[in-house]
Amino acid sequence: MMRFLLPLAAFIVLVGFLAVGLNLKPREVPSPLIGKPAPVFQSQSLHEPERILASKDNLGKVWLLNVWASWCVSCREEHPLLVELAKSGIVPIYGLNYKDKRDLALQWLSQYGDPYTVSVVDPEGRIGIDYGVYGVPETYVIDKNGVIRHKQIGPVTVESLEKKILPLIKELQG
Amino acid sequence: MNPVPSFEPLKNSFQQKIFSLRNIFSTKQFILLLALVLLSPLSWAEEALPVAEDPAIEKRMLALSEDLRCLVCQNESLAGSRADFANDLRREIREQLKANKSDQEIIDFLVSRYGDFVLYKPPVKPATYLLWGGPFVFLLTGAGILFFYLKRRRKQIEEPPLTEEQHRHAETLLKENKGNNA
């Protein structure tokens, strides 16, 4: 009896490990910045190059930082959702225009709509490095004290909005 | 209806091709050509690196980025990746080296942004005890199983004691043997 049960048990354990392994998302590397103060940045506004925007301007409110670029295909996927979220007025969305060209970025916004309160430019990806950005789009939820509370890797989806981002914003604003 | 081609014409055309090659190249030329073809990969084996202003810094940067993972193409090191992201991080490392930062400071800078995942060699801490200790646990478990298995097997193959009759038989055999030797 033991002769068959032991290999069977070992096999079931192995299948269990494989099943868990298959459902892991190696692309989504947990950010060590969650719970830490959002890195300080200071850069030009996309629309008004002479205007300098700084992260500390947002202290005292809950805000989203959305990393986007006109060359980013998945950004198009999440864009309608962001436009809708901006219209609802629940939370201000700040754009980080990552490694992009100004004219292309502006053209992209006029084509697909502009959900951003303002967009900050990061032409060389330096702010991106500070925020641990390794892919576009990425979205950060930042609280009133300027602490990063959540990072969405990849496009924002209806599911991630309803299950995670919106409840978190509500809680932080509360 | 097309006639079904037989095997013969094919063979002939193959022979003809070989023959025509012989006509074009002499044996010497052919060997030279073969050598050129075989050696040519060596000429492009070394990939062109961006020209660095300071070779010492470039060397340190490469040594450092060899042990760092590119998060975009996760099975490549920062040194080996052609991703734009890896390029940016290499630039960052280069700049920090120029600013006289130590290797450890740069590693800490990257870990604070991207987590331990950037390191190919994860640090020993509670979350990674299983990772570091796991192989030894498996080794000890395996050694234990082997030990008990061998012990049990020895018991199984233990010889049964000889009966009175077998004893006598063995003794006579031994005596006989002694007699022969003497």
Instruction: Express each pLDDT in B5-63 by its tens digit.
Output: 444 444 455 555 555 555 666 777 778 877 777 766 555 544 545 555 688 888 999 99
Q: Convert the pLDDT of each residue in A22-71 to its tens digit.
A: 998 888 888 999 999 999 999 999 999 999 999 888 999 999 999 999 99
- In chain A, the residue whose alpha carbon lies closest to the alpha carbon of B115 is A32
Class of domain A35-173: alpha beta
| Domain B55-118, CATH number (from 1.10.8.640, 3.10.290.10, 3.40.50.300, 3.30.460.80) | 1.10.8.640
Say yes or no: A30 contacts chain B, CB-CB below 8 A. Answer: yes
Average pLDDT over residues B110-129: 90
Helix (H, G, I), strand (E, B) or coil at B69: strand
Residues on chain B touching A129 (C-beta within 8 angstroms): 88-89, 92, 113
Q: Which of A164, A105, A96 is nearest to A133 (CA)?
A: A96
pLDDT higher at B68 or B180: B68
State the Cα–Cα distance between residues A174 and A165, nearest whole angstrom.
14
Total beta-carbon pairs less than 8 A apart between chain A and chain B: 40
CA angle B135, B141, B147 (to 5 degrees): 135
Q: Which residues pair with A53 in a beta bridge?
A: A43
Instruction: Tell me if residue A56 falls in helix, strand or coil.
Output: helix
Q: Is the pTM of this model over 0.80?
A: no
> Domain segments of chain B: what residues?
55-118, 124-157
**Residue B95, H or E segment:** helix B84-98
Q: For residue A124, what is the nearest residue in chain B, using CA coordinates? A: B88
Phi (first) and psi of residue A32, to 5 degrees: -75, -5
**How near does any CA of chain A get to the CA of B154, in Å?**
20
Say whether A131 and B113 touch across the interface (CB within 8 A): yes
What size, in residues, is chain A? 174
pLDDT at A78: 95
- Quick check: B76 contacting A, CB < 8 Å? no
Nearest to A94 by CA among A74, A122, A132, A130: A122
Distance from the B59 Cα atom to the nearest Cα atom in chain A, whole angstroms: 22
